Each structure stands twice: as C-alpha cells, then as structure tokens.
Amino acid sequence: MFGRKRLLEKEKRRTSIRARFIAFIINCTMIVAALIAVYVLIVFLQMPSLDSILKETRLPSVTFLDDGGREIRSSNRIMGNPVSVKTLPPHVWQAIVAIEDKRFFEHGAIDTRGTARALVSNIVHGHVSAGGSSITQQTAKNVFLSRDKKVSRKIQELILSYWLENRFTKPQILDLYMNRVSLVGGLRGIDAAARVLFQKSADRLTIAESAQIAAMLKAPTTYSPLKHPDKNMARARVVLKEMVRQKYITLDQAKNAAKTMKASQPAADTNIYRYWTDFVMDEVMSRLGDFNSDIRVYTTLDVPLQERAASIISNKVGSYQGAVIAMSHDGAIRAMVGGSDYQSSQFNRCLAPRQPGSSFKPVIYLVALEKGMRPDAYVNDSPFAIGDYNPKNYNERYYGDISLSTAFAKSVNSVPLKLTEQYGIDEVLSMAGRLGAGAKLRREYSTVLGASEMTLLDLTTMYSVIWNNGRSVRHYSITKITAPDGKILYERNPSDSIQLLNASTVNYMGELLSDVIKPNGTGHRASAPGVLGGKTGTSNGNRDAWFIGSTNDLTVGVWVGNDDFTPMNNKITGGTVPAEIFKGIVTSIQ
C-alpha cells in the first residue's frame, strides 16, 4: 500500500514536470512566434509604400533620332519599351514560363511543389543546383533592385510576393517580370535585351531568339549569346524542349528554331554619334530647361554622312586631332565629328576657338567685291607693313601685279592686308558681323589673316551664307522634341532669312572660291565632281589647318591640329590633309 502510494506520487511529479516542460515549450514557442511576428511587423513597417515600389525612379531618358526619324542612340535609358502578354507573340512569354516557372498559372505566390523539389535536388547534389523561386518571387526581387542578402530583405520579398499575387492578375505579374528583369549591361526588360542582342524590338523576336533570351534568365552573363554563345544555345535547346513538353510549340517548330539559333552580334558602336548627341543635348536644355519625363529628340543628322565623316577623320589625321562639320546651306547640321575618338577624349573640337588663318580671308574679299572690285581686277602683291606688323607671304614669294582671283586662289597675304588698308578694318569687322562671326574678333590687321580665334561651327556657318545665295544662316540641330506619346514639346519655327549679300557679290565670290580648287589653287586636292569651291587656311606655325568647301547641297568644314596648340609637320596645310578629308566626305556622298 505504502509502495503503491509512493509510485503514484512519483508519477504525479513526472506528470507535473512534463506539464511544466510542455508549458515552457509552448510559452517559448509563443514568445519566439511573437518575436518573429514583431520582427516581421518591423520589417513590414520599414518597407516603402507598396504602390511606390512599382514606380520607376530614374533620370528621364532622351532618345535621339536622325533626319529620317530613326533612333540614333539613347541616354539615361535603363529600360526597354514596355511589353505585355497581350501584345507579344505568345512564344516570347511562353519560353520564359516554360523554363522558369512551368506551374506559374496554377500556384500562388510560392510554388511549394517546386520549392520542395529544388530543396531535395540541392541536398542530393550537395550544393545549390536548382532554384525554386516562382516568377512572382523573382518579380519581387527585380522590383526591389537591391541585391543585399539580408533576412529582412528576403522577408520583404515574401511579403511583396503575396501582395503582388493579391493585387495583380497572373498576366500582369508576368508583364512586370518581363519589363523589370535585368539581362544585359544594366538595362532592364526583355525589350532592351532584344534590342541589344538582336537589334529588334521584343515583339519581333522569333521562337529561337525568345528561347535564347529565356536561357539567360538563369545567369545572364554565363548564358549570354553575346559572350558565351555555345552555352546560351545549349540552354536555349533545353528551353525549346520544355516548350514542346508543355505543348506551347510543336516538335517541328522546336527543331526548326534550333537550326536558326546563332550567336548575337554586338550592337553598332554609337560613340561615333556622341559628339553630336552631346551637342544636341545642350540645345535641348536651352529649349526645354529641366524636364522630368522621357523625351524624343528629332535631329537633322544624316547617319550615312556622319558615319563616313567619322571614319575618314579616324583614318586620316594620324597622331593629330580633327573635326568635321557638314551643314545644309540653310544651316541644318547633317554631320558633326568633334574628334578622332570619343572614348579617349570627349572634347568637341567643332566648338573650340582656333585661329582660322587664311580661311578668314573671304571676309575682306567680300568687302572689296561689294565696293565694286571684280575678280579680274588687278592688285599688287608685294611686301606689306603697318607699324611693326609686316607678315610675309607663304615661302616669302611675291607675284607683283596679279588679278584678284589669282591672289585669292594662291592665298597671298599682302593683298587682303592692302585691301583692308584701302577700305578700313571696321568694314572687315562689319562684314564678319553680318555673316554671323564678328562678335569676338579683335580690331587689328592680324585678324584679316585669321589671327582672331573662331570655331569650326561658326566658320562653316559663315561660309554657308555665301552658298545660300547671300542669305542669312542660323545653324540648327533639332526639328522637334516630343514626349513618348507624340505630344510636341518643341518644334522649330524657322524665321525668314535676310538678304545679306547682293547677287553680284555672291556670284563673284563663287568664282573666287571655285578658282581655289583648280589645278593652280591651294585647294586643288579637294576638287571632285559636284564641288563648287572652297578655301584653305593654315595658322602660324602650322598649328591649325582648315578647308571649308561646298557642294550643291552641303557646306563642309574641316579642321586638323593638336589640342595643345603645338605645331604640326610643316607639310600639313589646309590644302593637304583637310582638303583630302573634304574630298573623301563629298565623294562618298556622290
């Protein structure tokens, strides 16, 4: 009896201890659960507004278009054009679903079956060999942008995944995913990938190309058709098999697609347009000021002409630098090359003040022609001095009595100085001002021989007045600026030009300029079919060499020199390399 009582007491104590232990475990569990709940709540409260998460925070993109409305390049663009399940060919989004989340339309925010399968696979292989994230979870990751591997970030992703599933339909979530996924060079969205890798928009992707883009989703760099085409195509074939297995495409379609897969080619180098787009961007800011939405800028650029000019400059200037401006006679800039290599130097030499040398001389000849002289009028070429200023002719050679046209063609120095002495320096500066280039010229005789600095853009614009039948020219680069939806934000409204030179002065000046490219002229190397004329220029010490010439449609200015103003080889004058560059450019046009 006594023993049985003791046994009952022991059993009571055990039961009591067990009960207390269970209660302890329950309390601990509740405390841990409460702490987790508090932690999750804190993490949730630290999240930004869920609606704001979906909004893109970035600089407005600027898309530059050429004179035919074709895209040249973009700046600040980090996303492709928006795509949708509704507007894409079905095989584009089907390739993604087939390889990334085959049960996407069946499960909720998390694919528990896929997660369990991936967990088992990873345990069997001893490392992470398979992922179990659903497209919704991956969308949450892409929306967050941050790649911090923190528990709080993962919890926020989970919260966002459930929020996405409750807020949007499956097709809408897939749209978000396709527009946010990052595949190439910091750009986001499959449209951006399609444009970079295949030079087409996402709505034009073939089955093969869609599979190649879907293949990148596992690891964009590893499976890039640009960097690792063999790996990309091997995985793309896996994508095609999955598409057949899930009945998105037929076996024959998969076989045909596999045959057409190929490595992607690098997109065209847009650096040849960078001097131009930098210049245009300054014009955009002057027209719009600050702007906070994407814009499309329609420019005057002629792409084939730009590409030809950039190629010739790169090949011709050697160790020196060079620049080219080509504009229609009304001032529309058709090409702008500010240097031989934008990557090595972003300095735009088309806008750099340099001494124009003899290429400034047409100004004083225009004064003389307007005052009644004719190209066949005789002038005396002999040494000239005024005070301490006594410049020599090139090679110190003098011709005595020669015609005005010969003096111009041979670019002698004494004649324009004597004409300035006859008509006055103020007449020279006034004429330069009428042509749009007199604002910063010094009031001294050396200006007549090109000692006052001018930019290639201003000099080319000045010559355009002559070939625009003497009418005023204001250079321009933009025809209109629009929002992406087509709303016009700015449109050029040209004002009427003003007659600056009379017809006879223009005709006589045309004769003088045409003589320069004849066999005995300093610019004979620029002669080519369709060339109307031109003028050479070389500054002191061969620091700058110029040629400005014209065809029926274009005025083209060329400069060659060194950025640090050091002299070039004395064999380089305006009549050599610049004239040859000019000829190469206009010959390509013909």
pLDDT above 80 for 264: yes
131 or 390: which leads in pLDDT: 390
What is the domain extent for residue 99? 84-260
User: What is the average per-residue pLDDT within 528-554?
Assistant: 95
| Same domain for 397 and 492 | yes
Q: What are phi and psi of 416, to 5 degrees?
A: -60, -30
User: 3-state class of 379 per DSSP?
Assistant: strand
| Same domain for 559 and 422 | yes
**472 exposure class (CB count in 10 Å sphere: 0-12, 13-18, 19+):** buried
User: 3-state class of 494 per DSSP?
Assistant: coil
pLDDT at 105: 86
**Distant-in-sequence, close-in-space partners of 115: CB < 8 Å, separation ≥ 6:** 132
Residue 246: CA atoms inside 13 Å, Cβ hemisphere, count? Answer: 20
Residue 79 lies in a domain: no
Domain ends where: 231, 260, 289?
260
pLDDT band at 185 (very low <50, low <70, confident <90, very high): confident
pLDDT above 90 for 348: yes
470 or 39: which leads in pLDDT: 470
**Distant-in-sequence, close-in-space partners of 39: CB < 8 Å, separation ≥ 6:** 155
| Same domain for 323 and 247 | no
| Same domain for 330 and 256 | no
Domain ends where: 260, 287, 317?
260
pLDDT at 122: 47
pLDDT at 356: 96
Residue 171 lies in a domain: yes
User: 3-state class of 296 per DSSP?
Assistant: strand
pLDDT tens readout for residues 103-153: 888 887 676 665 555 455 544 544 444 455 888 888 777 765 455 555 555
Residue 280 lies in a domain: no
pLDDT at 180: 85
User: What is the average per-residue pLDDT within 146-164?
Assistant: 65
Range in 181-190, 217-226, 274-283, 509-518 with the lowest mean pLDDT: 181-190
Mean pLDDT of the chain: 86
| Same domain for 226 and 162 | yes
pLDDT at 31: 67
Nearest to 281 by CA among 305, 303, 302, 299: 299
pLDDT band at 292 (very low <50, low <70, confident <90, very high): confident
Residue 288 lies in a domain: no
| Same domain for 312 and 199 | no
Range in 179-188, 229-238, 271-280 with the lowest mean pLDDT: 179-188
| Same domain for 320 and 434 | yes
pLDDT at 77: 67
pLDDT at 3: 61
User: What is the average per-residue pLDDT within 194-214?
Assistant: 93
- Tokens 């997660």 locate to 115
| Same domain for 256 and 118 | yes
Residue 517 lies in a domain: yes
Tokens of 374: 């004719």
pLDDT above 80 for 59: no
Query: Given strand 295-299, what is the order of strands in its sheet?
Result: 71-75, 62-65, 295-299, 478-482, 488-491
Helix 362-370 vs helix 503-516: angle between axes, to the nearest 10 degrees? 140
| Same domain for 336 and 235 | no
User: 3-state class of 186 per DSSP?
Assistant: coil
- Amino acid, single-letter form, for residue 192: A
pLDDT at 371: 95
User: 3-state class of 198 per DSSP?
Assistant: helix
Is 523:536 a contact under the CB 8 Å cutoff? yes
Strands (E), 84-142: none
158 or 128: which leads in pLDDT: 158
pTM of the complete model: 0.75
Percent of the chain having pLDDT more than 90?
61
| Same domain for 213 and 338 | no
Q: What is the CATH number of the domain that holds 204?
A: 1.10.3810.10
Q: Give 388-452 as a DSSP string.
A: TB-PPPGGG---EEEEHHHHHHTT-SHHHHHHHHHH-HHHHHHHHHHTT--TT--SSGGGGGT-S
User: What is the average per-residue pLDDT within 4-24?
Assistant: 69
pLDDT at 293: 84
pLDDT at 279: 96
Positive or negative torsion for Cα 376, 381, 387, 388: positive
User: 3-state class of 203 per DSSP?
Assistant: helix
- What's the total number of domains in the chain? 2
Tokens of 154: 């993962």
Residue 528 lies in a domain: yes
Range in 86-90, 182-186, 259-263 with the lowest mean pLDDT: 182-186
pLDDT at 187: 80
9 or 493: which leads in pLDDT: 493
| Same domain for 212 and 314 | no
Numbers of helices and strands, H then E, in the chain = 20, 14
Residue 53 lies in a domain: no
474 or 51: which leads in pLDDT: 474
pLDDT tens readout for residues 78-98: 677 889 999 999 999 999 999
Domain ends where: 197, 229, 260?
260
pLDDT at 23: 73
Q: What is the CATH number of the domain that holds 341?
A: 3.40.710.10
pLDDT above 70 for 381: yes
Helix then strand then coil, in percent of the chain rounded to 5, is 50, 15, 35
pLDDT at 150: 58
Tokens of 242: 């999955």
- Tokens 């005052």 locate to 371
> From CA 72, how far away is CA 83, in angstroms rounded?
21
- Amino acid, single-letter form, for residue 466: I
30 or 471: which leads in pLDDT: 471
Residue 568 lies in a domain: yes
| Same domain for 512 and 368 | yes
Residue 335, H or E segment: strand 333-337
